[in-house]
Amino acid sequence: MKLLFHVSFLGTAYCGYQVQPNGVTVQQKLNEATKSLFGYECDIIGCSRTDSGVHANQFCATVSKKGSSTLETTIPTERIPQAISPYLPEDISVFRAEAVDEGFHPRYDVKYKEYIYQIWNRSERNPFLFDRSWHYPKAISEDAVSKMNEAAAQFVGTHDFASYMASDSKIRDTVRTVYEAEVTRRGDMLIFRVSADGFLYNMVRILTGTLIAVAEGKIGPEDIAAITAAKDRRLAGITVPAHGLFLNRVVY
């Protein structure tokens, strides 16, 4: 048996998901918790990497005994989330565990992932949303939201998204298929939702920054196709802060 963990976490205190030598990560905490629960070291493979400060409503990772493709435990699968909870910090939760085939891969078997980016659009800060949204104090009108959605619609489809990738990224295959991209308003919160078969480094944060440039009138919705075709990072918008970004859903 191999387990698939469904995990949620607040990324504020972590240097992203993947283990690294220069800081505490979510994977490190999962490694420590599974060793305490099962009594041996485990191999934990995540569905993706996340940047420092990025959050997850749903992150998926497989768990197996280190050096093996299976896991040995007498704990019923449905009770594992409750059993592992005491070994995890309060900002990480395994909210579901399920058995999967030994050949299942949490990254390669993904059909699509969905991210959301939260923008608190009010002149005053909201302390209860600190590090959970980007505070953008300049008012964004409903007309501007409509233009943002016109622009977002241009992201949908299979395109080379090199213009929306961090300039220092080493990724060579920059073609991705975006299935949905839209901006909605809930009171003072703007939410950019985007789903795709894969994402480039900083892609969602740059797409969001490009939509903000549309709202500011610096870029028109009609400019998006040319920006995409140019494959030039300098033409797109800013890279917005990490703390407004959530991995929202992983679909297999």
Which of these is catalytic: 43, 51, 188, 197?
A: 51
Query: Rounded distance, CA 9 to CA 4, Å?
Result: 16
110 Cβ neighbours under 8 A, 6+ residues apart: 47, 197, 198, 250, 251, 252
SS3 label, residue 221? helix
Catalytic status, residue 160? no
CA nearest neighbour of 244 among 117, 102, 148: 117
Q: Report the chain's terminal Cα–Cα distance, integer Å.
A: 18
CA nearest neighbour of 205 among 190, 194, 214: 194
Q: List, in sequence order, every beta strand (DSSP E) within the chain.
A: 2-9, 42-46, 55-65, 92-100, 112-120, 134-135, 157-160, 175-186, 189-196, 245-251
215 Cβ neighbours under 8 A, 6+ residues apart: 140, 144, 145, 147, 148
Write out the catalytic residue numbers.
Answer: 51
